[in-house]
Amino acid sequence: MNPLRPLGRALLGFLDATGRLAVFALTSTSHCIRPPFYPHLIVRQMIDIGYYSLPVVGLTTLFSGMVLALQSFTGFARFSAEGAVATVVVLSMTRELGPVLAGLMVAGRVGAAIAAEIGTMRVTEQIDALTTLATNPFKYLIAPRLIAGTLMLPVLVLIGDIIGVFGGYIVSIYKLGFNPATYIKSTWQFLEFEDVFSGLVKAAVFGFIVTLMGCYNGFNSRGGAQGVGAATTNAVVSASILILTFNYIITELFFGT
C-alpha cells in the first residue's frame, strides 16, 4: 500500500469540494445580478435574516462591550493606562468583535435555518418541482437569500457596534467610575472612518459566506432527515471557519503593512 495514496485522495477530495463550491458561488452570484428578480422574496429574507437576528446580535455585542471594558480596565490598571479603555472598546468593537460575533451568531441562527429549509426542499423534491414549474431555483431560492444576507449583515453590525460601545459605556460609568463626558470624548477621539468601514466590509463578506454556505449545503443535501441534519451542521461549521479565515484576510488587506 502506497503511503502517499490517502494523502493524494484527501487533497483531490479537498480540491473537488473547493471547485464545486466555487462553481456554485459563481452561478449563484450571476443569478443575483441578472433579472428576473423577486423583490418580495428579497424583502422577506431581509426581515428573516436582519430584523429577527437583532435580539441575538444586540445581546451578544452588549455583553461583549461590557466585558471588554471590565477586562481592559483591570488589565490596563497594571500600567496605569485606564484612560485607554474607551478607545480599546470602540476599536475592538468596530474592527473585530462587531463583525465576527455578529457573523458567528448569524451563522448559527440563519445559516442553519437556510440549510435545513433548502435541504428539506431538496429531499422532498420541492427543488425539482420548482424546475418543472419553469422557475430557476437559483433565482427563486438562493439569490434572495444571498442578497439579503450581504445587505443586512452590515446593518446588523452597525447596530451591534453602537450597542457594544454602549455596553462598554455603562460598565465604565456605573461600575468603574469614569466621567461620562470624558469617556464619550475619548471614544470619538481616535476613531477613524476606516475602523467602522473595514468592519462593515467584513460584515458584508460574512453575510455572503453565511448565506452561501447555508444554501450550498442545503442544496446538495442527500438522503432524508440525516442528510438534512448533516447539511445543517456543515453549513454552520464551514461558515464559522470561513468567517474566521476571511476575517484575517480582510484585516490584512485593510491594515497589513
d(CA 218, CA 232): 7
Taking contact as CB under 8 A, which single stretch among the options 134-142, 148-156, 213-221, 237-245 is the one that binds another protein? 134-142
Residues 46 and 152: beta-carbon distance below 8 Å: yes
Binding flag, residue 124, another protein (CB under 8 A): yes
CA distances, 1 to each of 4, 5, 14, 81 (Å)? 9, 8, 22, 62
Distance, in Å, from the CA atom of 94 to the CA atom of 130, rounded to the nearest integer, reads 41
Asked if 43 touches another protein (CB under 8 A), the answer is no
Q: Which of 131, 182, 226, 245 binds another protein (CB under 8 A)?
A: 131
Closest alpha carbon to 208 in 132, 154, 130: 154
Q: Is 129 in the site for another protein (CB under 8 A)?
A: yes
Of 124 and 226, the one with the shorter C-beta distance to another protein is: 124
Q: Between residues 138 and 208, which has the closer beta carbon with respect to another protein? A: 138
The region, left, alpha or beta by phi > 0 then psi within -120 to 50, assigned to residue 211 is alpha
Q: Least Å distance between CB 126 and another protein?
A: 5
Q: How far is CA 153 from the centre of its chain?
A: 7
By CB under 8 A, residue 220 contacts another protein: no
Instruction: Tell whether residue 126 is a contact of another protein (CB under 8 A).
Output: yes
How many of the chain's residues bind another protein (CB under 8 A)?
A: 13
Residues that bind another protein (CB under 8 A): 121, 124-126, 128-129, 131-136, 140
